[in-house]
Chains A and B, each alone.
Chain A
Amino acid sequence: MAVFPWHSRGRNYKAEFASCRLEAVPLEFGDYHPLKPITVTESKTKKVSRKGSTSSTSSSSSSSVVDPLSSVLDGTDPLSMFAATADPAATDSSRKRRDRDENSVVGSDFEPWASKRGEILTRYTTTEKLSINLFMGSEKGKGTATSAMSEKVRTRLEELDDFEEGSQKELLNLTQQDYVNRIEELNQSLKDAWASDQKVKALKIVIQCSKLLSDTSVIQFYPSKFVLITDILDTFGKLVHERISSLCVDHRSVLPDHFSPENVNDTAKETCLNWFFKIASIRELIPRFYVEASILKCNKFLSKTGISECLPRLTCMIRGIGDPLVSVYARAYLCRVGMEVAPHLKESLNKNFFDFLLTFKQIHGDTVQNQLVVQGVELPSYLPLYSPAMDWIFQCISYHAPEALLTEMMERCKKLGNNALLLNSVMSAFRAEFIATRSMDFIGMIKECDESGFPKHLLFRSLGLNLALADPPEGDRLQILNEAWKVITKLKNPQKREVNTVLADVIKHMTPDRAFEDSYPQLQSIIKKVIAHFHDFSVLFSVEKFLPFLDMFQKESVRVEVCKCIMEVFIKHQQEPTKDPVILNALLHVCKTMHDSVNALTLEDEKRMLAYLINGFIKMVSFGRDFEQQLSFYVEARSMFCNLEPVLVQLIHSVNRLAMETRKVMKGNHSRKTAAFVRACVAYCFITIPSLVGIFTRLNLYLHSGQVALANQCLSQADAFFKAAISLIPEVPKMINIDGKMRPSESFLLEFLCNFFSTLLIVPDHPEHGVLFLVRELLNVIQDYTWEDNSDDKIRIYTCVLHLLSAMSQETYLYHIDKVDSNDSLYGGDTKFLAENNKLCETVMAQILEHLKTLAKDEALKRQSSLGLSFFNSILAHGDLRNNRLNQLSVNLWHLAQRHGCADTRTMVKTLEYIKKRSKHPDMGHLTELALRLPLQTRT
């Protein structure tokens, strides 16, 4: 194939721009415009009918044209729908309904059980081995087998007890995790059994599970076990309720939310009754209690008063449970389902509490004490096991309870000896305001408590939690503080001096014997409380003891956790950029700690998190107009955070920004001093980029920094950046890792190079190097790069180069950088320059044509066609078609594109139409002739 010369089409960018531009038309007030905000002028929604029948009318747009967005919504936009429901009549009825519901539904201010669950599970753990005893069927070997039972009945009951015929399971030596898994399996098999219509098996599983709650071996785990097993009971309760509800629904009607038992049909009632009869015959007390409580809600199907009769009975039934711990958890469960189903029935809640007080003395009785001795558990670790259950009961009681009741409860607790446990629960559950106003009373009671039973510091902790939420009376504060001091220091008050004293005191107490090592969670919680109250970090860090307090976190993982908390709060609350040296010093220290925790084993996510936090800090540091100080801060930061790539990237961007800031301040005219400063910035970037790992990060940063250098008239530095980028390209691997997946890199390279070319257009040639030396160098690199086989990316790049060269041969370039003379002004259309340029074009074109030739194979014909057409388009856009040979080449390409029937006819038609249209423009007459030479192939 002969060598084709290139002749760029002369362009008048200004004229082209003007001709392409849309004409701006001023908009009258009433005119329609899609981006104009919709204003609701009128809204008459009469009644929003339920099932989408559109009896509603609403005009909600000021425009005369129907707004496509609101028309989708059946003519009613959501806002006017709200407006419609908010009309007075509607609110009135809905308020009435709400009033009625008030009693039967718990408000959102009631802390739900779900939020307690996790806390209990993490707090009550054990390292001892557990066992699940899932048989009880043949109780031959067991002493507890009731001798009062006759043989026949036993067999009958065995059938009920054994949930899989012949299965006797006693799983011993389970770790806590095994245990949890096993319970989860049971939960699943319950659901499976139910789904496969094995209702009896489901019941058996639930009975077996509830039985586990009578087992108090490994007592430290009991609260967690309670949580796990009541989850299963909840599942069961829900399943039964759903099933009976579904029976109520005759083929047509739907059971309303507030149905009365009269609406329930006989089948549903009978089924429901059957469940209750079955449960009433469960032999053992504890399973019978739990299973019945779990379906408490189903009483609604039978009678209106069912629940109000059932709750007191179940409450009394708990009296039969001998073990005080088991019984208090049973009470907690009853209160829980009670609150869910009938929160207005407060009497039962109170009754549970009073009954509990009556049995309180049992804790110190022989049976419990013997058990503790056997298990080797001390009283101070036994008593806190009661807290979750008691806290919950107290919370239920105190919810919306009158002051008088709370006072009475408190008095009752006072009367009992060793009431620390009760006191603690009162403080955890009652309203913070209630506690806060009586702080002195509570301190008095705490002081009277017996030291041996419930740990006193826990009491002060509970008191402190309340005081953090509600302020105690002004006059009492100092005294409260003093009182609390004498015992132990857990009291918080968001005043600087007090906090400092607290921290100092905690340090004093924790330092001897490295006691802090055992209390990291508590210390962490102190820090969290403190930073939650101090949003002004300059005040926070001026608290003298804050940093020494931080020093107590000597275990690295904990230390880093704390640092992360601090940084999170900083990022969240710091509004203004800061240069406060106290904050900077302290936070640099904090960030350094986080950064230094990074090692080879650190997870990617962790690194990302740390980098995010440190970046957040860097962005918040500003020394205002003191740019040099700012740069030296970045220098310091670089030396500190060199292991986190995202931080380095952020620093480079920050420094580039700083250079551009400087330029802005100087309005583009650098003084000698600022010129030196921006060069320092550029140097910073230049030496930082090579330390990065990500290849495209480096490439893009080189390009970006080069652009910044160019904008600041640092020409040789810009050249250096671009050269560095060019010399880096051969290193681009074929595959790169993106979000953990290996992806081919070519498309990224293509994208980068196109971007690069746009910059190269305006980079002036170096006086000592040849014409277009950067472009030449880049072409060499592209030539030598090992491209994928079967890929046309190299040719695509060449096509882009052709565009670049065409743009470069124009008299005036498309864009410029202020105060930088590009090649157009340097060479001023010098013929030698243009000749060089054209020579390059010819080489590139030869490459393209060569490649097209190699594609003349069957499997590549499609690619040949599309590539040929794209080359044709390039010539059409950038070439001067008055040149005969170029003209001939384009005709050849047109034929090539169509030769094997691979071309998309529609594209060809459109292209031809475009050419014809263009030919009507002035100076484009020669295209008419070209169009005649381009036949359209009809597909056969």
Chain B
Amino acid sequence: MGTSLDIKIKRANKVYHAGPIQIINSTIEMVKPGKFPSGKTEIPFEFPLHVKGNKVLYETYHGVFVNIQYTLRCDMRRSLLAKDLTKTCEFIVHSAPQKGKLTPSPVDFTITPETLQNVRERALLPKFLIRGHLNSTNCVITQPLTGELLVESSEAAIRSIELQLVRVETCGCAEGYARDATEIQNIQIADGDVCRSLSVPIYMVFPRLFTCPTLETTNFKVEFEVNVVVLLHPDHLITENFPLKLCRT
């Protein structure tokens, strides 16, 4: 007769305030030694996440270099004649909302051929004037990124205007540090030759699985940036970069 072990986690209804411990390693005994009746036995359990030392309990995060993962393992020790059983499963940690009010940090921007860097032949660029603003670069992760963009003039027809959300992971190691930027979302906010002098809204919802609050530790960093990308006819690509700071409130 086979015996199997299963862990089910219900939706968390409690927020665990974690103390400053670097790695969690708590163990609890769920049942005292004894004998289970045959059939299905369900054992409810609950325990606080006590963190060791003076480190932070980071949010669950799956990135390229950085992975923050929390697993739960259940071991069932059995008599000599039967093998011990083990089962693991991942659970997600959302950190407690950060205290204090988020201070909005609006940014105004103007893009013209003159403001651009990394231009090979500036003379070949058609003339344009694009202005806009982001309501805040300090963002609440559950709230959309908002702002406005206005094409005041453009010689060339506009093909598309997009918002590109980029995640930057930096990892410290012996030889210095490694840095990797990944596009995690691209949202088109204008399609075709938009009306001049009519503001187009900037609006982007942060994707749930690919973002987390901006994280900066001694060993690694997870940061986010947004690029405003303007594509002009026939084949010009203009990008303006804005670093973001994400947090959870």
Contact = CB atoms under 8 A, between A and B. Distances in A.
Co-assembled chains A and B: yes
Given A281-B205, A320-B161, A367 B239 contact: no
B201 A148 contact: no
A286 B231 contact: no
B189 A320 contact: yes
B72 interface: no
A321 B192 contact: yes
Given A144-B159, A148-B237, A153 B194 contact: no
B190 A320 contact: yes
Interface stretch (A358-366, A456-464, A917-925): A358-366
B59 interface: no
Interface in B178-230: 182-195, 198-201, 203-205, 207-208, 227, 229
| Chain A interface residue number, banded | 35 or more
Contact of B191 (A150, A157, A320, A365): A320
A146 B162 contact: yes
B47 to A, nearest CB: 24
A319 B195 contact: yes
Nearest to A273: B208
B201 A153 contact: no
B188 A322 contact: no
Given A146-B162, A146-B231, A153-B186, A313 B201 contact: yes
B244 interface: no
Contacts of B186: 146, 148-149, 153, 157, 283
B168 to A, nearest CB: 13
A480 B150 CA distance: 46
Contact of A284 (B164, B188, B198): B188
B207 A285 contact: no
A596 interface: no
Contacts of B207: 277, 281
B193 A367 contact: yes
A933 to B, nearest CB: 86
B157 interface: yes
A152 B189 contact: no
B249 interface: no
Contacts of B194: 319-322
A317 B203 CA distance: 9
A148 B227 contact: yes
B191 A214 contact: yes
Contact of A313 (B11, B193, B203, B229): B203
A284 B192 CA distance: 11
A897 interface: no
Interface string A835-862: 0000000000000000000000000000
Contacts of A449: none
Contacts of B157: 366-367
A319 B201 contact: yes
Contact of A285 (B158, B189, B227): B189
Given A148-B239, A149-B183, A322 B158 contact: yes
A153 B163 CA distance: 14
Contacts of A313: 201, 203
Nearest to B144: A280
Interface string A146-172: 111110110001000000000000000
B143 to A, nearest CB: 12
Contact of A280 (B162, B205, B229): B205
Kindly name the residue among B144, B164, B239 whose own CB sees the greatest number of chain A CB atoms within 10 A.
B164
Contacts of B190: 285, 319-322
Interface in A324-338: 324, 326
Interface in A346-382: 355, 358-359, 361-362, 365-367
A316 interface: yes
Contacts of A153: 182-186
A323 interface: yes
B163 to A, nearest CB: 10
A147 B164 CA distance: 11
B170 interface: no
A932 to B, nearest CB: 85
B160 interface: yes
A826 B61 CA distance: 117
B183 A150 contact: yes
Interface in B133-176: 144, 157-162, 164
B141 to A, nearest CB: 13
A259 to B, nearest CB: 22
Given A146-B160, A148-B237, A323 B201 contact: no
A313 B144 CA distance: 12
Contacts of B185: 153, 281
Contact of B237 (A147, A319, A358): A147
Contact of B182 (A144, A152, A320, A326): A152
Contact of B229 (A143, A148, A359, A365): A148
Given A144-B159, A150-B182, A317-B201, A284 B191 contact: yes
Contact of B200 (A144, A147, A319): A319
A630 to B, nearest CB: 73
Nearest to B150: A319
Contacts of A283: 186-188
A11 B195 CA distance: 102
A652 to B, nearest CB: 71
B46 to A, nearest CB: 19
Nearest to A216: B192
Given A313-B203, A317-B203, A322 B231 contact: no
Nearest to A274: B208
Contacts of A277: 205, 207-208
Interface in A123-149: 143-144, 146-149
Interface string A269-285: 00000000100110111
Contacts of B160: 144, 146
Kindly name the residue among B144, B200, B237 whose own CB sees the greatest number of chain A CB atoms within 10 A.
B200
Given A148-B164, A322-B158, A285 B188 contact: yes
A280 B190 CA distance: 15
A266 B13 CA distance: 12
A341 B121 CA distance: 53
A157 B184 CA distance: 10
Nearest to B237: A147
A146 B193 contact: no
Contacts of B200: 316, 319-320
Contacts of A157: 186
A247 to B, nearest CB: 15
Given A144-B159, A148-B229, A148-B239, A286 B191 contact: yes
A90 to B, nearest CB: 45
B201 A322 contact: no
Contacts of B205: 277, 280-281
A149 B183 CA distance: 7
A267 to B, nearest CB: 10
A316 B201 contact: yes
Contacts of A148: 162, 164, 183, 186, 227, 229, 231, 237, 239
Contacts of A146: 160, 162, 186, 188, 229, 231
Contacts of B162: 146, 148
Nearest to B159: A144
Nearest to B197: A358
Contacts of A322: 158, 190-195
Contact of B183 (A152, A214, A286): A152
Interface of B: 11, 144, 157-162, 164, 182-195, 198-201, 203-205, 207-208, 227, 229, 231, 235, 237, 239
Closest 5 CB pairs of A and B: A322-B192, A320-B190, A280-B205, A322-B193, A367-B193
8 contacts: A149-B186, A152-B183, A153-B182, A283-B188, A288-B188, A320-B188, A321-B191, A367-B157
Interface of A: 143-144, 146-150, 152-153, 157, 214, 266, 277, 280-281, 283-286, 288, 313, 316-317, 319-324, 326, 355, 358-359, 361-362, 365-367
Given A149-B186, A285-B188, 5 more contacts: A147-B231, A149-B183, A285-B190, A320-B188, A322-B193
